[in-house]
Amino acid sequence: MTRLIFLGAPGAGKGTQAQRLSAESQVPHISTGDILRTAVAKQTDLGKKAAHYMNAGELVPDDLILDLIRERLGQADATNGWILDGFPRNVSQANFLDGLLEEIQQPCDFVLNLDVPDEVLVTRLLSRGRQDDTEAVIRNRLAVYREQTEPLIDFYRGRQQLVSVNGNQPMDAVTAELKRVIAA
């Protein structure tokens, strides 16, 4: 059983590593960013509401995200584990998730924080070139991360679940370190 939450700044490698561990452990990789980008591409109601926040590098309002997570974690493929990437993103999402995981009796095993210096993050994202990877939007995403998401490191630190890993090393080295952590 694998139930993991990835924390880390934009470009820290959450998606990359979550995808690798998901393939290895056969549990779904649940990325709120990917879910939202699909909704934007399909021009669903959710996508229409979310697009302008995403393009500005702001968080999408919680009321657009919370039901989506409840529904996704309730799907059949998530009963035996999951890897969350991009959720929770602020303290109110983390409190919501606490309540939800208790309700569905699926405690999280580890909160994995990927640590990467800002300038490395900016370089990585500029060379990726997603729609929200322009320099101004990246700087705002980093500011939003510092203000709203980084406090989750302390939120989880007290619970013996948080493990910080150096994300500023080759992808395979990061994966190997993460695998060591979750096998412990």
The residues assigned a catalytic role are 14, 89, 128, 130, 141
The nearest distance, CB 165 to ligand AP5, in angstroms, is: 10
The nearest distance, CB 90 to ligand AP5, in angstroms, is: 7
- Region of residue 160 (left: phi > 0; alpha: psi -120 to 50; beta: else): left
**Which residues make up the interface to ligand AP5 (CB under 6 A)?**
8, 10-16, 32-33, 36, 53-54, 57-60, 65, 86-87, 89, 93, 124-125, 128, 141, 167, 170-171, 174
| Residue 30: other Cβ atoms inside 10 A | 22
Angle between helix 135-144 and helix 45-56 axes, rounded to 10 deg: 100
Long-range interactions of 105-110: CB distance < 8 A, separation 24+: 106/3, 106/73, 107/3, 108/3, 108/4, 108/5, 108/161, 109/1, 109/2, 109/3, 109/4, 109/161, 109/182, 110/4, 110/5, 110/161, 110/162, 110/163, 110/181, 110/182
Whether the Cβ atoms of residue 8 and residue 14 lie closer than 8 Å to each other: yes
The nearest distance, CB 156 to ligand AP5, in angstroms, is: 15
Q: Using the minimum distance from each CB to ligand AP5, give the nearer residue, 3 or 89.
A: 89
The nearest distance, CB 1 to ligand AP5, in angstroms, is: 23
Size of the chain, expressed as the number of residues it contains: 184
